[in-house]
């Protein structure tokens, strides 16, 4: 009875756990594995987050939902750049992260102004 | 004039941290750029620049940072538990709270700390009446005074010492 | 010493990835815009800051480490402002709260 009640939750949790296990156990022939094999798996965990955000971008019932998902996507990409800079040892990945955080913030403000339905010069 | 000097120091510090291994060429370029920026936009930076000279404000700020980080961590665990629970235990609503802070910087920091603490999100500020509208994920009370006691008062006492 | 540094950094990165996943599950599961905004702006911001702190611990005081700390401070300052602006814009554009919500003082005050 309890299982029938929570069936939707169980299916979702099962799919998520299965994909996480698949990501963590699948042997990735990565270019980065000469320094750290573990970090190469971390990229694909973030890819899973990207897929969830893209689902919300496509399915969001109102424009505000899509704006929230795009803002989240911008913050996740900053984390992606940070992970990428550790095994390769190239510090300009973090320059990309700074620029991306700035433009994501300004983009979120512009989307909010657009949702508010007024001009930009107030 | 004081405001320009403060902005020059902050800008030069950020430049020095961005080009970390300290180097004469980078420092000279940073000096020129920071002086130019401070000369152009210095007067917009701070209304009351003499506040930057008070040492007690820095001490209160260093007390504020760990409190803020601890609340932030609690907020994350709270949201994670709510999201993973199969029954989805939420009870949302928008409530009203009062504040006695007046300065713009203080109100901004208050709204930021409210947004990053457990279960609350600042929706709008009415600066003249001193009223904040807050989206609360688990509404415990709808009364203004009790909500103020629960949400704002913890941070307001510290922020008043820093920014007023 | 070196291995302790490695393990601490890896633990910070794993905790950050976990919070990122929880925030994205919240983006999918919660019912309306304001609740989704709560979940993402808390979990994703602190998760990304934790990843950046892990990068700082792994790299030490070097170019990469100090830039990571600067990005973390920048994110902690700007992400709540963006969330606040998006919530205000959504309310002004006429997005209703979840039907089971308790109270909406903002709409009662005529905004």
Which chain C residues are closer than 8 Å to A65 by Cβ?
33, 36
The pLDDT tens digits for B11-50 are 999 999 888 888 899 899 999 999 999 999 888 887 777 7
**Residue numbers of the domain that contains B30:** 2-50
| Min Cα separation C70/chain B (Å) | 8
Are B28 and B63 in the same domain? no
Are B109 and B127 in the same domain? yes
The pLDDT tens digits for A89-111 are 888 888 999 999 999 999 999 98
Are B120 and B78 in the same domain? yes
Is the pLDDT at C93 greater than 60? The verdict is yes
Q: Count of domains in chain C?
A: 1
**Residue numbers of the domain that contains C56:** 2-108
Are B93 and B43 in the same domain? no
Packing angle, helices A7-25 and C2-29, rounded to 10? 150
Residue ranges of chain B whose pLDDT lies below 70: none
- Please compute Rg for chain B using Cα positions: 20
Are B66 and B7 in the same domain? no
H-run or E-run covering B32: helix B24-41
Are B66 and B83 in the same domain? yes
Q: Determine the Cα angle at B120 with ends B118 and B121, to 5°.
A: 135
Is the pLDDT at A121 greater than 60? The verdict is no
Spatial separation of the C-alpha atoms in residues B38 and B36, rounded to whole Å: 6
Q: Count of domains in chain B?
A: 2
Q: Which of B79, B111, B135 sits opposite C39 (nearest CB)?
A: B79
The string of DSSP letters for B55-114 reads HHHHHHHHHHHHHHHHHHHHHHHHHHHHHH-TT---B-EEEEEE----SHHHHHHHHHHH
The pLDDT tens digits for C67-79 are 999 999 999 889 9
Are B61 and B28 in the same domain? no
Are B58 and B70 in the same domain? yes
Are B69 and B124 in the same domain? yes
ipTM comes to: 0.89
Window C:75-94, CB contacts with A under 8 Å: 75, 78-79, 81-83, 85-86, 88-90, 92-93
Greatest Cα pair distance in chain A? 58
Are B20 and B75 in the same domain? no
């Amino acid at each position: 009875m309890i299982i029938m009640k929570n069936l939707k939750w169980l299916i979702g949790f099962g799919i998520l756990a299965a994909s996480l296990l698949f990501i963590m156990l699948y042997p990735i022939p990565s270019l980065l594995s000469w320094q750290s094999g573990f970090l190469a798996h971390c990229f694909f965990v973030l890819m899973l987050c990207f897929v969830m955000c893209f689902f919300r971008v496509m399915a969001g019932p109102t424009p505000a939902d899509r704006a929230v998902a795009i803002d989240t996507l911008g913050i996740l990409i900053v984390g992606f750049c940070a992970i990428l800079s550790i095994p390769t040892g190239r510090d300009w990945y973090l320059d990309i992260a700074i620029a991306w955080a700035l433009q994501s913030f300004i983009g979120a403000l512009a989307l909010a102004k657009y949702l508010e339905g007024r001009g930009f010069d107030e | 004039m004081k405001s320009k000097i403060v902005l020059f120091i902050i800008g030069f510090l950020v430049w020095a941290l961005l080009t970390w291994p300290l180097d004469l060429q980078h420092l000279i370029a940073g000096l020129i750029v920071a002086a130019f920026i401070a000369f152009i936009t210095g007067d917009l930076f701070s209304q009351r620049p003499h506040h930057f000279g008070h040492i007690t404000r820095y001490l209160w700020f260093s007390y504020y940072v760990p409190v803020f980080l601890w609340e932030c961590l609690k907020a994350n665990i709270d949201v994670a538990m709510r999201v993973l629970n199969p029954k989805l235990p939420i009870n949302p609503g928008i409530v009203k709270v009062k504040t006695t802070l007046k300065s713009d910087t203080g109100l901004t920091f208050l709204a930021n700390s409210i947004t990053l603490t457990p279960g609350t999100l600042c929706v709008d500020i009415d600066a003249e009446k001193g009223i904040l509208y807050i989206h609360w994920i688990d509404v415990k009370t709808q009364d203004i005074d009790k909500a103020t006691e629960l949400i704002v008062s913890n941070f307001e006492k510290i922020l008043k010492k820093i920014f007023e | 010493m070196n291995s302790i540094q490695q393990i601490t950094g890896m633990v910070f990165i794993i905790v950050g990835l976990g919070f990122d996943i929880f925030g994205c599950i919240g983006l999918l599961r919660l019912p309306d815009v304001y609740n989704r905004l709560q979940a993402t702006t808390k979990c994703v911001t602190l998760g990304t800051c934790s990843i950046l702190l892990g990068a700082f611990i792994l790299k030490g005081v070097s170019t990469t480490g100090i830039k990571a700390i600067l990005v973390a401070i920048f994110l902690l300052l700007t992400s709540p402002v963006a969330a606040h602006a998006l919530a205000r814009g959504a309310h002004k554009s006429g997005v209703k709260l979840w039907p089971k919500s308790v109270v909406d003082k903002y709409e009662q005050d005529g905004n």
